[in-house]
Structure 1
Amino acid sequence: MPTNPAIPADAIHPGFEFVYEAHAELGAPLPIGQTPDGARRIIPILSGTVAGPRIRGRILAGGSDWQVLRSDEVTVADATYPIETDDGVLIQIRNRGLRHGPAEVMARLAAGDPVDPAAYYFRTVPEFIAPLGRYDWMNSSIFLCTGARFPNAIKLWVWRVI
């Protein structure tokens, strides 16, 4: 069996298409407490904006991020929330991922201090449920997201894997 079969370069290195930047205002964390998985809390998602080359709109109130802080100090995010596009289409997002970094960086982040997003790892995989029509391309693609956390807000940059 050959050890170096001819594989197209795009099969090894997928490309990325920028989809949007989101900014969301967050409510105060609601602690659930210690569980067998780790410390759990709920972060209410209050409102926000979505702006990019293929989609623009707002994040509607009512979503939340159900987080768990594992024993290895990794925060597991599992956020579900709706966006409404500028043309009135509702899209559901479920965004799951991880945030972690050096202890001193994470302590500064938790204290609400300004922290360069490059100082910690914050990556998620958003999944979209869009109605058929203008945005149904979101139902048939994989997306990756980078993020930055602020005291009462979050910024996300979403990319479609091509």
Structure 2
Amino acid sequence: MIKPGLEFVYEAGGALGDPIPIGETADGTRRIIPIFSGPVKGPKIQGELLGNAADWQVTRHDGVTVADAIYALKTDDGVVIQIRNRGVRHGPAEVMQRLIAGEEVDPADYYFRTIPEFIAPIGKYDWLNKSVFVCAGARYANAIKLWVWRVT
């Protein structure tokens, strides 16, 4: 048996805009969360998230929010990398209500995990195209924080 390991890649933070409601749909309540710029810092990548991005979320009838964000980061050496980050966020009802109300909530009190997929140009960051990654996240009133690991 081979047990996968994790290699820390970076921490990213981004400002978020006001949610844009789409409304109730057959699969849940949909909304768009604008994503603005923010820092990317880590042993493998340094740079910033680029603005003009969004998370197209649906909160299912079971209370689970499914994230589907598409954004880009620009490395400190000028390379632009596209990211699609999909996953889930859920927790006890009272904790999720506090998040919705914009309260500060310890990220350990809820589950927020995603799978980022990278599209990097051939060159220095091509290794992003050749691995699987996992991410843990934290949601704040007007911001998000993401920690990304490469599965080894």
Normalised by the shorter chain, which TM-score bucket?
over 0.9
Over the aligned positions, Cα root-mean-square deviation in angstroms equals 0.5
Report the counterpart of residue 55 of structure 2 in structure 1: 65
Report the counterpart of residue 94 of structure 2 in structure 1: 104
**Match for residue 104 of structure 2 among 99, 114, 118:** 114
Task: Give the alignment's TM-score, normalised by structure 1.
Answer: 0.93
Structure 1 residue 56 corresponds to structure 2 residue 43: no
What are the equivalent positions in structure 2 for 1:1-162 lying under 5 Å apart?
Answer: 7=1, 11=2, 13-162=3-152
Question: CA shift at 1:49, angstroms?
Answer: 1.0
Percentage identity across aligned positions?
68
Letter of the 1:73 partner, please give it. Answer: G
Letter of the 1:161 partner, please give it. Answer: V
Gaps of 5+ in 2: none
Letter of the 1:59 partner, please give it. Answer: L
Task: Give the alignment's TM-score, normalised by structure 2.
Answer: 0.99
Larger Rg: 1
Deviations, residues 82-124 of structure 1 (Å, cap 9, x unaligned) = 1100000000000000000000000001101110100000000
Gaps of 5+ in 1: 1-6
SS at the partner of 1:126? Answer: strand
Q: List 4+ stretches of structure 1 deviating above 3 A.
A: none
Paired residues, what number? 152
